Amino acid sequence: MPRIWLKLRGIVKGPSRLLSAARPIAALLMVGMVLVAGGPGTLLLADPLYPTLSLLMQSDAAYDVGSAGKMATANPDDLLFRVMGPQTPSSMRKADIVNFVANLNTWSGRLWFNVDATKNAFEKHYWGNTYLPANAYKAYIDYFAEVNQALTAAGHRTFDGIGLETEDSYLQKTGAFLGHSGTIGSYLGSKGLTSAKIATTGSYKQASDFADLDVDLLTIQAYNFDHGDPTGFATPSTASAQSLASSIAGTLAANYVADPGALTTPGVVVMFSYEDIDGTKFFGVDGPGGTVWNTPLFQQFLTDFKAQPGMDGTTLGVYDVGTAFIKWETTLDSEVPEPSTTLLALLGLVSLLLGRCRT
């Protein structure tokens, strides 16, 4: 057989160099074949790490660098970052928030300062002693302004808006109070925050209130239904994904017969939950055999939900993203699939090519 020569980068090399050059290429081909072959329990290069969602909302505070990285990787349009009062025991401080925001890196979505506005937190003076309950909102906005000033001084991005949940709070869910032209908007302006956005939450029945509230973002809870939540959460599976999608979409649609466009209005987000509420864990439940609503199963639910009548144009989000990350990440698996016939044939071809290089 005639000798094979390879001229690489202007240097003439012999057959042994050709073999050396071929080996890493073949190795990459084999790794690529394994990844392409895939199989149950195997993470492919094309597999998403987290489901595709427009909004992530925290139920508690997580300020570590790792959490920031996860949030950025999930890449939502909106992140509602839970902020406890500055005097809350064993909680974050301003420096912790600054560090968290710094580690969001290049993520460029809208960042919300979502305060713990519960009566309990205010009455325990976690928000200080400056204001009476009727003016609790001023304590929240004062701290919002203070943290943004600290972020600016550190050279980081700032929070785009403030999130105010009115349930069990001293806040009023009306446009006259929450809106840009209302009490909140006026006080934001007095603090030099005229351009700050405003967000709030609502029950699954309140999507039609969006325009009247005069806010920029309204997340509605697609859970805690008056007549009980649908079954299926406790058995994570593709069948349950379809069943839950159909049931939840049906309940929502029945409440907006007179206003069918309410759920698809820009600024309204339909939010699902991984939270544990009175023993009901929604998508956060652990099913038989340790099954969970991980990334593939929850993504299937989202796809099925969007396929329901009237739901295609909805914007979707998740509450209690801390728990959700734990469940989503169980998708990762080091298991290598059994080689298929096609894969074995491809590996044989690569081996044959390497063998020819040796002659």
**Predicted pLDDT at 279:** 76
Question: What does the alpha-carbon distance between residue 189 and residue 143 come to, in Å, rounded to a whole number?
Answer: 14
Ordered by where they begin, the domains of the chain are 6-41+337-358 (no CATH), 55-331 (3.20.20)
Helix (H, G, I), strand (E, B) or coil at 80: strand
**Predicted pLDDT at 344:** 45
Question: What does the alpha-carbon distance between residue 99 and residue 81 come to, in Å, rounded to a whole number?
Answer: 13
pLDDT digits (tens, 9 = 90+) for 51-80: 999 999 988 766 677 888 899 999 999 999
Question: What does the alpha-carbon distance between residue 99 and residue 150 come to, in Å, rounded to a whole number?
Answer: 11
| Nearest by Cα to 78 from 114, 110, 115, 113 | 110
Q: What is the pLDDT averaged over residues 245-268?
A: 96
**Predicted pLDDT at 36:** 38
Q: What is the pLDDT averaged over residues 249-263?
A: 95
pLDDT digits (tens, 9 = 90+) for 151-209: 999 999 999 999 999 999 999 999 999 999 999 999 999 999 999 999 999 999 999 99
- Does the pLDDT value for residue 137 go beyond 60? yes
- Does the pLDDT value for residue 214 go beyond 60? yes
**Predicted pLDDT at 66:** 82
Tokens representing residue 207 in the block: 């999507």
Q: What is the pLDDT averaged over residues 127-135?
A: 97
pLDDT digits (tens, 9 = 90+) for 86-112: 999 878 889 999 999 999 988 999 999
DSSP classification of residue 120:
H
What pairing do the DSSP bridges indicate for beta strands 161-163 and 197-202?
parallel
Task: Report the mean per-residue pLDDT for the chain.
Answer: 83
Hey, what's the torsion of the CAs at 88, 90, 92, 94, to 10 degrees?
Answer: 70
pLDDT digits (tens, 9 = 90+) for 312-356: 999 999 999 999 999 999 854 433 344 445 444 554 554 444 454
**Predicted pLDDT at 349:** 55
DSSP classification of residue 161:
E
Tokens representing residue 234 in the block: 């406790």
- Does the pLDDT value for residue 8 go beyond 80? no
- Does the pLDDT value for residue 38 go beyond 60? no
Longest dimension (CA), the chain: 94
Q: How confident is the model at residue 357 (pLDDT cuts 50, 70, 90)?
A: very low
Question: What does the alpha-carbon distance between residue 178 and residue 187 come to, in Å, rounded to a whole number?
Answer: 11
Helix axes 65-74, 321-328, angle to 10 degrees: 80
Tokens representing residue 347 in the block: 């590996």
Determine phi and psi for 265, rounding to 5 degrees: -65, 130
- Does the pLDDT value for residue 142 go beyond 50? yes
**Predicted pLDDT at 336:** 36
pLDDT exceeding 70 applies to what percent of the chain?
Answer: 78
